[in-house]
């Protein structure tokens, strides 16, 4: 007995007026997937495109309940050479990080950005700024509060978070550092910054010897992360190194957002003194800054017995400043 083929579904109407060419350098959010806890997930949203490069993506997690919700933008580390928006450092489980942010009633936006061998600085900062513009442009669709955005990053992401908080259109080299990727214009200011063990002064750091790098396959060398970021050594790109250093912008900031700097005392990759330099620069202009040393901890808080406490303190700082009146 033969079965009749299934009935064809009704054709989808095509409206040519919905199509533009060339397409915009970003895509609108698709409808979310809601999990069993009522958290809305938007995964893999294209917030910026550039011909010849992979699309830059972000994920959004929105708490259950009525919004709009304040926003934390998470920026991953990896020496500007590596890393992925989906994975915090191995000492910080994603469930811990995501759960702490969402449990505080904050939305979480995790972003990718171009790595340094794809494009040198300021491409990475351009992408962070583009992500913030995108979040503001689509805040209503996503259930987010466009006026309450903070940034939080670790290692290379901490460096970019600090720059995102300090660089604006009116800062030195502001127009060149803001960029026009994705949603090409709009406010990129933030309400607070959490910087975990980020680089603050590339020029002084050039004198710090790099620790041994992990073993690589035969014939493959691990690039110097600072040379890769700048496109050449610090000595050859001194002006760019200065522009890429948060201390440069902190020293002339007129109204910096509040900063929480968390750094392991025994960090052998990015010395603790880097956060001391940034704290001093912020204090010199009257900025609000908390410098939190983590005793006995190396990079990514290796050696610390209380990573959950560090996460909780960071989320509490962000929640306080995102919920306070500006």
- Residues annotated as catalytic (active site), given as ranges: 155, 267, 299
The burial of 83, by beta-carbon neighbours within 10 Å (0-12 exposed, 13-18 middle, 19 or more buried), is given as buried
**Residue 36: CB atoms within 10 Å:** 5
Burial class of residue 238 (count of CB atoms within 10 Å of its CB; 0-12, 13-18, 19+): middle
- Single out the residue of 77, 119, 67 nearest to residue 97, CA to CA: 77
Peptide bond into 283 cis (omega under 30): no
Q: Which residue has the tokens 């610090």?
A: 234
Cα(144)–Cα(130) distance, rounded to whole angstroms?
16
Tokens of 101: 């942010």
Nearest partner of 226 among 248, 214, 246, 208, judged by Cα: 208
SS (H, E, C) 60-72: EEECCCCCCEEEE
Residues with Cβ < 8 Å from 203, sequence gap 6 or more? 234, 238, 241, 242, 245
Q: What is the DSSP letter of 54?
A: P
Residue bearing tokens 């011909």: 51
Distant-in-sequence, close-in-space partners of 112: CB < 8 Å, separation ≥ 6? 56, 57, 58, 76, 84, 85, 127
């Amino acid at each position: 007995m033969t079965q009749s083929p299934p009935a064809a579904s009704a054709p989808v109407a095509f409206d040519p007026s919905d199509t533009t060419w060339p397409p915009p350098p970003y895509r609108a959010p698709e409808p979310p997937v809601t999990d069993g806890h009522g958290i809305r997930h938007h995964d893999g949203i294209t917030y910026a495109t550039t011909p010849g490069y992979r699309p830059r993506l972000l994920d959004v997690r929105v708490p259950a309940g009525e919004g709009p919700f304040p926003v934390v933008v998470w920026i991953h580390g990896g020496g500007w050479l590596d890393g992925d928006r989906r994975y915090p450092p191995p000492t910080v489980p994603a469930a811990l990080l995501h759960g702490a942010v969402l449990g505080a009633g904050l939305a979480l936006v995790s972003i990718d950005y171009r790595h340094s061998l794809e494009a040198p600085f300021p491409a990475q900062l351009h992408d962070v700024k583009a992500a913030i513009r995108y979040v503001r442009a689509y805040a209503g669709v996503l259930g987010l509060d466009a006026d309450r955005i903070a940034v939080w990053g670790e290692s290379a992401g901490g460096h970019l978070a600090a720059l995102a908080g300090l660089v604006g259109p009116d800062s030195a080299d502001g127009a060149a550092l803001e960029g026009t990727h994705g949603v090409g214009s709009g406010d990129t200011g933030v309400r607070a910054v959490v910087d975990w063990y980020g680089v603050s002064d590339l020029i002084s750091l050039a004198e710090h010897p790099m620790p041994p790098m992990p073993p690589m396959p035969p014939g493959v060398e691990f690039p110097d992360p600072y040379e890769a970021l700048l496109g050449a050594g610090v000595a050859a790109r001194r002006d760019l190194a200065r522009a890429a250093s948060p201390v440069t912008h902190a020293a002339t900031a007129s109204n910096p957002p509040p900063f929480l700097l968390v750094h392991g005392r025994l960090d052998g990759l990015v010395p603790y003194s880097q956060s001391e330099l940034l704290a001093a620069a912020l204090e010199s202009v009257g900025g609000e800054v908390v410098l939190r040393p983590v005793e006995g901890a190396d990079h990514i808080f290796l050696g610390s017995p209380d990573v959950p406490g560090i996460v909780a303190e960071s989320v509490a700082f962000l929640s306080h400043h995102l919920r306070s009146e500006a």
